[in-house]
Amino acid sequence: VYESNFTRETRKRLCKIDRQAIERYFINKGDDELEEGEIKL
C-alpha cells in the first residue's frame, strides 16, 4: 500500500534488510528449530 511512497533508496534499504533477515532466519533455523514462519531478528 505504502510502497509507492517509498523512494528508490528506501526501497533498496528495505530489500537489503529483508535479505539480511532471511539469511539470519536460515542460519538460526540450522542452529535450533524455529516455529514455522518465525524469524529471529
Question: What's the predicted TM-score (pTM) here?
Answer: 0.40
Give residue 6's identity as a one-letter amino acid code: F
Residue 39: pLDDT band with limits 50, 70, 90: low
R_g of the chain, CA atoms, integer Å = 13
Structural domains in the chain (count): 1
List the end-to-end C-alpha distance of the chain, in Å, as a whole number: 24
Tell me the average pLDDT across 3-22: 80
Q: Which domain holds residue 14?
A: 1-41
* Grid coordinates belonging to 23: 539469511
Alpha-carbon gap, residue 17 to 1, rounded angstroms: 19
- 7 torsion bin: left (phi>0), alpha (psi -120 to 50), beta (else): beta
